[in-house]
Every structure is written in C-alpha cells, then in structure tokens.
Structure 1
Amino acid sequence: MDTEAQHTERDPSSRTESRTHPRTDSGTEEESRSVRVSEDPRPGPPHRTAPSWRRTVLTGGACVLFLLLLSHFVLQPFLIPSRSMEPTLRVGDRILVNKLAYRSGDGPRRGDVVVFDGTGSFVREEPRNNPVTGLLHDAAAALGLAEPDGTDFVKRVVGTGGDRVVCCDGDGRLTVNGVTVTERYLMPGDRPSGVPFDIVVPPDRLWVMGDHRSQSSDSRDHLGDPGGGMVPVDRVVGRAGWIVWPFGRWSAVPGTDAFAAVPAPPAGGHGTAPAGREERSGGETADERAAGGAGSRG
C-alpha cells in the first residue's frame, strides 16, 4: 500500500513538471534546427539575365519576321504615289491590301480596286542580276525601308474574262456587255475616256482603269503592247481594303454598285471585237513610279 501511494504521488508531480516546462525540448529542437539551417545553407544556381542588347535584338528580329510573314501572306502596305485613282485614293494615302481576298477561288470582280504586278503587261519583264540582292530588296520594300521596283499598280477592274468593254456610247459613257455604266467614282470633270476602244477581255484577264481618267496610264495605254493592256488574274496581289494613313482618312476603300446591272458575258462569246485604237488623250500622264513601302504605281 505504501508503494502504491508513493507511485501515485510521483505520477502527478511528473505530470506537473512536464506541464511546467512544456516547450523546453521543442524550443531547443527548433533552435538547433534553425542553427543547422543557417549554418548549412543550400544556395541555388545564380540567376542569370541575358544582356539587354541581346533581348532587344531577339525581340526586334521576331517583330521583323512577323511583319514579313504578315506582309507576304495576309496584308501588305502600299503607298499611293500619283493622282490616277482620285478621288477614291489620294497621293500619299497608305493602303492595306487584302492578299486573302481572292484565295477562296473567287477572282476579282468588276468595280474592285486591286493592286497587281504589271510585269509582262504594263512594264517589260527584266531579269534581276543578283537574286540575293533582289530578295533583300523585296524584304526591305515590304517593311517600307526601300523603294519598290516600280512594277506594282493600283487600278479599278472594269472588265473581267469574256466581257466586252466599249467606250464610248452615244452619250459618251462606258458600256460593259451592252449595258451603260454610270461611274460615280470618277474624278469630277473627267470623261470616261479620251481614248476610244472596243475590246473583249480574254479569259483569266482583266481590263483595268484609273478613277482619274485624264491622269491615269492604264489598260488603254497598252492596247498595242503584248497582252493588249490586259492584266493576268494570277498577277493580282490583292484587293485594296483599307486606307490607314493619314489618320484623317482612316476608312475602308469604298465599293461601288456601278456594275450591278451588267450581265454575265454570253456563253458563246461576243465574237471578234474591233481592235482598240492605240491613241492617248493629251491630258494623260505616263506611269509614275511608287515611293516608299511596298509601293504602287498610278
């Protein structure tokens, strides 16, 4: 009995003692752990940052590559250098050409304002001496860093494959497939043409004219050249979509319903049309070279 009492008396005291110093061991353990951590750090690899010039070069290169791809496949900037498309497009306007407009299979339509490569139709094809230099030049021109070769033009499509385009009728107006076209987009005071012509557009070709007829060198000026002033459809770069500069003229290139009543050409064709006369009106100017951007000519 005495032994049991002694055990009973010791147990509460030991419990009391543990309660009195409950954090001694844990505190010591935490302190020692903290000491070990501070004494034995595990430093990671030093953080290295690329030099600022390297990041700048990489970022600039990525931007240039993106712009080149965008310009080559989707949208390409063109500068309007002449008065040939007034009042629709003015000198100094910078437009974006939609290069996807005709990728779905539908070709240019009458009334579309298009940019095309006039090599072989409006200008003679001249081979480049150095293909590498030519490639670099094209890349710089696409970014607006060099002048273009001067083979790109911007005009309005007046006739497509199979159409018979005549100017002028008894009232001095243009007709397409026998239907008179009221061209409200013309420069005020201009006649539809000072050059009489009567042509049938071959398949996969376009007859194009400027809106400022007295200042435009277009299909009429190349009637006697190989191709007769007709532009191959596969030479069309795209459709003029938007005017993006200057900001005061920021808008879509306006369309037209002037050709809405023109019927499709007859299935059997129009027969042989008289050849257009190789005349030029006195007020018309020679083709003008584009300046800046990927450029377009008048």
Structure 2
Amino acid sequence: MSEQTPPIDPLLDLAANHEPTAEPGTGASKVLRDWLIVIGVALVAALLVRVYVLQQFYISGPSMETTMYSNDRVLVNKMSYRLHDVHRGDVVVFDRITTNGATVAHDDLIKRVIGLEGEHIEIKNCVVFIDDEALNEDYLPARDTEKSDLTQRCRVPNMRRITIPAHHVFVMGDNRPESFDSRSFGSIPESLIVGRAFAVVWPLSRFDAL
C-alpha cells in the first residue's frame, strides 16, 4: 500500500512563494541616515564646545614673548570664570572694543592679569607696585629686565597710582617694550574676558601649560 501525499493548501503555497523581501537600497539608506545623524550630532557638539567651553586662538604679534610667540596657537578655557574669579597671573583672551569715529573694531587680545578690582597699582622705574608692594614678575624675559635703559626695558617706566574699578582688571603683556595694554587703554571690564589661556598647543615643539 503506497503512502499518500497530503494535499497542499493552495493558500499556504501562495504565501510561501510570496515572502516579503527588503526593498532594494533600504539597508544602505538606513546606514547612510545613521551616519548622517552621527556626523550631525558630532558637529553640533563640536560647535557647542567651541562656543561655550574650549577654543583655539592664534597668537599674532610679539606682546607676550617669551611666554608665547607670534604664530603660536593656544587653548582657551571659556568656562574658567563661570566657576571662579579671575586671578592675578592668569593669561586671558579678551575682546577689546575700540572706536574711531563711526568705526567700531573688536580686537581679541591676549595679556596677563596684573591687577584686580579695588587694588591700587602704579609703576616706578619699570617695577609694578600693587598696594605699595613690589610685584614679583619672574615671567618677564631676562633680555628685557637686564636692560639699563628704562624705556627699552618696559616702554612706560612710570605710571601714576590708580585704583582699579570694580569688576575690572589691569592687564599687561610679558614683552613690556612691545605690548599695547592697560598702560595705554586702562583697565578692562571682566565681562569682556573670553576665557583663560591654559596651554600652548602648536607648534608641538612648544607644547606647554601656561
């Protein structure tokens, strides 16, 4: 007696022959979409970091030699002064606003904080005095401090005693003979400070913390 093959349900056979298949290109499109999302998130994150946290600045000019040189690149922490006060000795980038008739210019400058709000500052024979105490400035280059001519040593040998206003700081370049700073334009509002420079990152041969 031969075995009988059970009858095939035509509906099941139809379903078996018509299994759903992925549309051509669907997998590739999903991968591309995922990568675009990742790249978009990364770009937004990088922009937020640059605007609110860290930014690289390019040094143009000799005013901070020999701490920094022209063409150096430094990293600036923009969060520093949201977390704590400005300290003497900090190297800061700030936005100095200058006017010339109808023209308004914004200059990003980098200098060292010398005097703080409420302090009395004066300069005698190139020596900075804070509240009648001589300031130790071991960051100044020996090539300048060893000069006998005071004008060549610091450009402004003497400055009358002034009081630094509230919420202001007095800034100067380390290269005193070639620095345009608070000796010329006065104390700057702390609100103009962009952030604290904390490292030279380029060239790599000069990589160092400030």
Same-fold status (TM-score > 0.5): yes
Matching residue within 133, 139, 145 for 1:185: 139
* Distance in 2 of aligned mates of 1:163 and 1:125: 30
Contact 1:187 1:213 in 2 (8 A): no
1:109 is the counterpart of 2:87: yes
Question: What is the deviation of 1:94?
Answer: 0.9
- Contact persistence 1:210–1:216 (CA under 8 A): yes
Residue in 1 aligned with 2:209? 252
CA drift of 1:187 comes to: 2.1
Shift in Å, 1:63: 4.1
Deviation at 1:239, TM superposition (A): 0.5
Q: Does 1:153 align with 2:116?
A: no
Structure-2-length-normalised TM-score: 0.78
Q: How many residues align?
A: 197
SS at match of 2:44: helix
What TM-score results when the alignment is normalised by the length of structure 1? 0.56
Q: Which residue of 2 aligns with 1:200?
A: 163
- Structure-1 residue corresponding to 2:149: none
Does residue 45 (structure 1) correspond to residue 8 (structure 2)? The answer is no
Question: Take 2:101 and 2:192, find their aligned partners in 1: how far apart are those partners?
Answer: 16
Using CA pairs under 8 Å that are at least 6 residues apart, name the structure with larger relative contact order, 1 or 2. Answer: 1
Work out the percentage of aligned pairs sharing the same amino acid: 33
The CA distance in 2 between the partners of 1:235 and 1:248, in whole Å, is: 31
Cα distance change of structure 1 residues 42 and 126 upon mapping to structure 2, 3 Å threshold: farther
Cα deviation, 1:10-37, whole Å, max 9, x if unaligned, reads xxxxxxxxxxxxxx89xx78xx9xx959
**Unaligned stretches of 5+ residues in structure 1:** 1-23, 130-148, 223-228, 254-298
Q: CA separation of 1:39/1:107 partners in 2, compared to 1, >3 Å: closer, same or farther?
A: closer
SS at match of 2:48: helix
Corresponding residue for residue 148 of structure 2: none
CA deviations 1:236-262 (Å, max 9, x no partner) are 111002222112222221xxxxxxxxx
Q: Tell me the distance in 2 between the aligned counterparts of 1:79 and 1:57.
A: 31
Task: Give ranges in structure 2 of 5+ residues lacking alignment.
Answer: 146-152
* Deviation (angstroms), 1:77: 1.3
Specify the SS of the correspondent of 1:189.
helix
- Residue 90 (structure 1) shift: 1.2
CA RMSD across the alignment: 3.5
Rg larger in 1 or in 2? 1
- Structure with a larger share of its residues in strand: 2
